[in-house]
Amino acid sequence: MSDSTESTARAHACLTTPSGEGYVGDVNHTISGIPCQQWSFKQPHGHAYDEINYFADYSMHSSAIVQDVVNYCRNPSVMESVDAQPWCFTTNENVEKEYCDIPRCKGKPLLSTDVYNLLWQIIANVKNGNAVVD
């Protein structure tokens, strides 16, 4: 991992929003301690999170691929919908998915989910060469 990638990961190792959409840290187990299933694997739990653009990692590193997310807790965005906090599919065949315990960032005010979603939309529009605000 390069120094800039490492410092970016450290900067995003805590929740900066209420639901943690931008979390790209390396927690890889659930609240109850179950290891997370790799996002690129379909066993023991099948899923449709095949595209890197569902994950905040993509906005941080445009060359990222799903395998780069490894088995880290995330709150992937599908059709601009996110869960209450970062989670993962588990390696326990009897527990499909579970939330992860990610610390909230200290000393930084949390952005509201609405403001955070607007920022993501602006970033996506700029990356796609569209107008900043529709």
* Contact criterion met (CB below 8 Å) for 3 and 16: no
Give residue 5's pLDDT band: very low, low, confident or very high (50, 70, 90): very low
Q: Where are the alpha helices (DSSP H) in 12-98?
A: 56-60
* pLDDT at residue 99 greater than cutoff 60: yes
3-state DSSP call for residue 26?
Answer: coil
First to last CA, the chain: 37
Tell me the residue ranges of DSSP E strands in 3-124.
87-89, 97-99
Q: What is the pLDDT of residues 32-71, one digit of tens each?
A: 999 999 999 999 999 999 888 888 888 777 788 888 889 9
- Does the domain at 1-108 match CATH 2.40.20.10? Answer given as yes
- Amino acid present at 43: Q
Residue ranges covered by each domain of the chain: 1-108
| Percent composition of the chain: helix, strand, coil (DSSP 3-state, to 5) | 25, 10, 60
What is the C-alpha to C-alpha distance for residues 26 and 38, in angstroms, rounded to an integer?
12
Share of the chain above pLDDT 90, in %: 35
* pLDDT at residue 4 greater than cutoff 70: no
Give residue 2's pLDDT band: very low, low, confident or very high (50, 70, 90): very low
β-strand partners of 87: 74, 99
Q: Which residue has the higher pLDDT, 105 or 92?
A: 92
* pLDDT at residue 132 greater than cutoff 70: no
* pLDDT at residue 93 greater than cutoff 60: yes
